[in-house]
Amino acid sequence: MNTSAQETRPSSATEIACDVLVIGGGPAGCWAALEASGAKARVVLVEKGYCGSSGATASAGTQIWYVPPDPTEREEAMASREAMGGYLSERSWMAPVLDRTYESVNRLADWGYPFPVDDRGEQQRISVQGPEYMRLLRRRVKNAGVTILDHHPATRLLTNGGAVVGASGLRRQEGGQWTVRAGAVILAAGGCAFMSKALGCDVLTGDGYLMGAEAGAELSGMEFSSAYAISPAFASITKTALYRFAQFYRKDQSVIEGAGSARGRSIVARTLLSEPVYARLDLAETDEVKAILRRAQPNFFVPFDRRGIDPFTEFFEVKLRLEGTVRGTGGLRLTGLDCATTVAGLYAAGDNATREPICGGFTGGGSHNAAWAISTGTYAGASAAAFAQQKTGALDIHTPQPPSRVRETVIDPQAIIKAVQDEVFPLHINYFRTHAGLTASLERLDRLWEEIAAATVADESQILQLRQAQAMTATARFMYRAALSRTESRGMHRREDFPKQDPGQHHRLVVGGLDTITVRQETIDPGAYREAAE
């Protein structure tokens, strides 16, 4: 019988010992905790917010890459994004991810998730509503005996002889610190959207990337991070799927030719460089279609209804809101299907792990991303439990510290966050990339990192903000260092000065380090995909 981790709670600190520590309470973290617990491991899950309602998935509906095990359907599913992703994906990952996702979604149905039913009475298991999905996962995690610590953001990993053996962080509500010593740690803290106000993403600040890099882990695919979502100018709703039913207009209500939510998004972006853009969902022509859209994405319509705007008949201004690696591809590099990183005892899942194996250099949208969270979560949970249960002996724990500096400076975290946003939000820097633009931005970010890497804050209440500012700065530097190294346009990475895809750059870019960031090439197995003639 699995039992929850044992803990003692002094007045200003929490000390816990367990087998597996999961950092992050989104889908990937919950699936990881369930799998590790099912392997009889003692599991602790820490979450910056509240597990079940925090993060991108909890706030909206999402599709799932759920494909029945029919050879033809599976072939079509795997081939569907290979070209868009620049042929950087691998069938050796796609097939098991599809298998695991199919099995796990069927488990959701067995647990009672209310999938919609079609006219034949068959459940449609290709999407979930975030609130119901995450509420169910939290309940399953809690009932499995996992210790859930809400409002406990992780700030540092603990190491022993080069291996990760736990983490420490802050108790946001009680005050003070927490420390969890663990046989293995799973980073499932989400990607980085740079506090752009994208729906549900303000807790996703790249914390896992920074902690992993501090421990010596590598990252991959960070150049594929320029994901922008179409959003009403007055709201944070970033559900782009419904814009397939939209046309885009200038202020004089003339149609912007070629603009669209998928293939024509770059036209929207280029127009926004010089003038505002408006949209109207006028391609949803019947009441039946409009009703279907409202049922599919009810929260999309909330800000319109509050303002008395009918998006089907009235024009509304739109913008492109950065989603970074949340909707992009990059993350911690995995060494295999066990979801291990390049550091012993450290695993990654969901948006914390690069999605290149199934998406290449292009976004997985909602469906692939959801499948990745499910599958990597379960893989990491099982692997971390097995790793932890093989370990014995006492631990001499070390907490990675920032590099030493001549003197520490006291900074304002909000000013740092604004400075990072000024480098990653502008379309002319991050969407339409050039050597000159990337180089100038990276120089500013490097100076910023020098200033804050060992900085302090005047008020202890700002410690979390400081770590988030450091994580966002580090993430932006990883992104732009890789983007400078890829002198071509592939996937979502667009170089205005290198507009074509270069067959000689059919490789991944792996970055590592913090003060000095290195970039190396990683080849892809030629048999991992079926490349069409370019």
pLDDT tens-digit map of 133-165: 999 999 999 999 999 999 999 999 999 999 999
Angle between helices 413-424 and 435-452 (to 10 degrees): 170
* CATH 1.10.3720.10, applies to 413-524: no
Paired with 219 in beta bridges are: 332, 511
- Measured CA to CA, the distance from residue 472 to residue 478 in angstroms comes to 10
Predicted TM-score (pTM) above 0.75: yes
**Percent residues over pLDDT 70 in the chain:** 93
pLDDT on residue 299: 84
**Token digits of residue 337:** 């299907």
Contact 326, 198 (CB under 8 A): yes
Computed over every residue of the chain, the mean pLDDT equals 91
Q: Give the mean model confidence (pLDDT) for residues 230-253.
A: 92
Confidence of residue 408 (pLDDT cuts 50, 70, 90): low
Cβ neighbour number for residue 459 with a 10 Å cutoff? 9
**Token digits of residue 370:** 């959801």
Contact 530, 79 (CB under 8 A): yes
Cβ neighbour number for residue 527 with a 10 Å cutoff? 9
Cβ neighbour number for residue 405 with a 10 Å cutoff? 12
Q: Give the mean model confidence (pLDDT) for residues 412-431.
A: 97
**Token digits of residue 271:** 């127009």
Residues, the chain: 534
Contact 371, 354 (CB under 8 A): no
pLDDT on residue 1: 41
Confidence of residue 460 (pLDDT cuts 50, 70, 90): confident
Is a pLDDT exceeding 50 seen at residue 459? Answer: yes
Summarised one tens digit per residue, pLDDT across range 169-213 is: 999 999 999 999 999 999 999 999 999 999 889 899 999 999 999
Which has more confidence, 305 or 404? 305
3-state secondary structure 308-348: CCCCCCCCEEEEEEECHHHHCCCEECCCCCCCECCCCCEEE
Cβ neighbour number for residue 168 with a 10 Å cutoff? 19
Q: Does residue 419 sit in helix, strand or coil?
A: helix
CA distances from 344 to 159, 160, 183, 185, 347 (A): 10, 10, 10, 10, 8
- Measured CA to CA, the distance from residue 226 to residue 320 in angstroms comes to 11
- Measured CA to CA, the distance from residue 54 to residue 205 in angstroms comes to 13
Q: What's the half-sphere exposure (Cβ side, CA atoms, 13 Å) at 379?
A: 27
pLDDT on residue 5: 53
**Token digits of residue 289:** 């279609």
Summarised one tens digit per residue, pLDDT across range 8-55 is: 444 567 899 999 999 999 999 999 999 999 999 999 999 999 999 999
Among residues 157, 158, 156, the alpha carbon closest in space to that of 398 is found at 158
pLDDT on residue 139: 97
- Measured CA to CA, the distance from residue 534 to residue 398 in angstroms comes to 50
pLDDT on residue 186: 98
> Best-predicted range by mean pLDDT among 192-206, 212-226, 519-533?
212-226
pLDDT on residue 230: 94
Domain locations in the chain as residue ranges: 228-322, 413-524
**How is 453-521 classified by DSSP, letter by letter?**
TT-B-SSGGGHHHHHHHHHHHHHHHHHHHHHHH--S-BTTB-BTTS-S--GGG-SEEEEE-SSS-EEEE
**Token digits of residue 439:** 């180089």
- Measured CA to CA, the distance from residue 3 to residue 145 in angstroms comes to 6
pLDDT on residue 396: 52
- Measured CA to CA, the distance from residue 411 to residue 406 in angstroms comes to 16
Just give the CATH number of 228-322.
3.90.700.10
Summarised one tens digit per residue, pLDDT across range 296-337 is: 788 899 999 999 999 999 999 999 999 999 999 999 999 999
pLDDT on residue 21: 98
- Would you give the DSSP letter of residue 200? T
Is a pLDDT exceeding 80 seen at residue 402? Answer: no
Summarised one tens digit per residue, pLDDT across range 467-512 is: 999 999 999 999 999 999 999 999 999 999 999 999 999 999 999 9
Read off the amino acid at residue 107. R
